[in-house]
Amino acid sequence: MDEQTDNNPVGENQPPKLTPGMNPLTAAFLALAVVFILYQFGGAILTLLIFGLDFEKADVNSVRLLTMGGQILFILLPALLLAKFVYTDVTSALRVKFPSLKEVLVFIGGLVLLTPLLQSFLYIQNFLFNKLADNISIVHELRNLIDQVDKMVQSTYGNLLQSNSIFEASFIVFVVAVIPALCEETFFRGFVQKSFEYRFKPVWSILLTALFFGIYHFNPYGLFALIALGVYFGFAAYISDSIFIPMILHFLNNFMAVTAFMIFGDQELISSNVTPTEDILYHIITFAILLLLFSAFIYYVMKNYKSFQKRKEEI
């Protein structure tokens, strides 16, 4: 395992003072294990204790509060406690640095390109997957299993997003967009990725964190899209060294998904269970064009980001 040797454009690569016997890599994997157990199993046990086995008949606002409480107690709190335990400088370990408006707008522009890019990818992915499932029995069985999991996830998610008033819609946005952006980004792009960066090169730190980010969301059809989204959030966090930029991006992604659901009913901003059409060539061409544009955007940001920061410092 090689230590990171690349020059970080925005900070030092050496970790702050560590607790004796602890290193950043151990801390990152410990955090991932603790949060997974707490959020998935602890959350499930807590749900059963509160609502019993008849979960579908539970009051939806109570479920929303439980969802919000689970994010805070089982994701955000462990991240803060572990950061305090492992690192002396918690603000550095969690990237607590305010970005400029220009930095934020640049990365929002990237998200505008990435969103339709991922939607085109999902059309192509599902088209190819269905073609394989129609011709290979084992893939057909796998599709049936994935469809069952996906329907369960979509049903639970859909119930949380049903609203009957502006006040309820605002509460849904807070639960589904604000809280996950705060909690998940503090954990993944803050504590976990930053810990990886102290031992791995940036690209591996970003990819590894994004992989866990995708897996933790339990969205079978959307796994690769979630990983790609996590890579972009991680890239933004690393280049800017500010946790607030991926928080804003995460919020905007979820907010637009909630808005799309409220307007169109069962459509998300990036719908993972899209039904592919036979006119797949259109989606392939769209994907290729958007991928080229997004790659050019990433290249531009990597080449010019230091100048963005210099102009920020001069103001």
The residues near 169 (Cβ < 8 Å, ≥ 6 apart) are 163, 262
Given a contact cutoff of 8 angstroms between Cβ atoms, the answer to whether 176 and 160 are in contact is yes
199-208: pLDDT as tens digits: 899 999 999 9
What pLDDT score does 273 carry? 58
Average pLDDT, the chain: 85
Q: What is the DSSP letter of 241?
A: -
Q: Report residue 53: phi and psi, to 5°.
A: -80, -20
C-beta separation of 95 from 12 below 8 A: no
Whether 277 contacts 266, CB under 8 Å: no
Q: Where are the beta strands (DSSP E) in 105-204?
A: none
Query: Can you tell me the mean pLDDT for 169-185?
Result: 95
Structure tokens at 124: 């192509």
Determine contact, residues 89/79, Cβ cutoff 8 Å: no
Mean pLDDT on 160-186: 92
Q: Which residue has the higher pLDDT, 291 or 130?
A: 291
The C-alpha atoms of residue 198 and residue 89 are separated, in whole angstroms, by: 14
Report the alpha-carbon angle 214-216-218, nearest 5: 85
| pTM of the model as a whole | 0.88
**Read out DSSP for 187-239?**
IIIIIIHHHHHTTS-HHHHHHHHHHHHHHHTT-STTHHHHHHHHHHHHHHHHH
Is pLDDT at 315 greater than 50 in this prediction?
no
CB 270 within 8 A of CB 115: yes
Residue 306, pLDDT above cutoff 90: no
Among 1-10, 85-94, 204-213, 265-274, where is mean pLDDT lowest? 1-10
Higher pLDDT, 182 or 1: 182
Residues β-bridged to residue 18: 87
For residue 209, name the pLDDT band (cuts at 50, 70, 90).
very high
Predicted local confidence at residue 261, as pLDDT: 82
Instruction: Please give the structure tokens belonging to residue 74.
Output: 């089982």
Query: What is d(CA 121, CA 5) in angstroms, rounded to the nearest whole number?
Result: 33
Q: Sort residue 59 into left (φ over 0), alpha (ψ -120 to 50) or beta.
A: beta
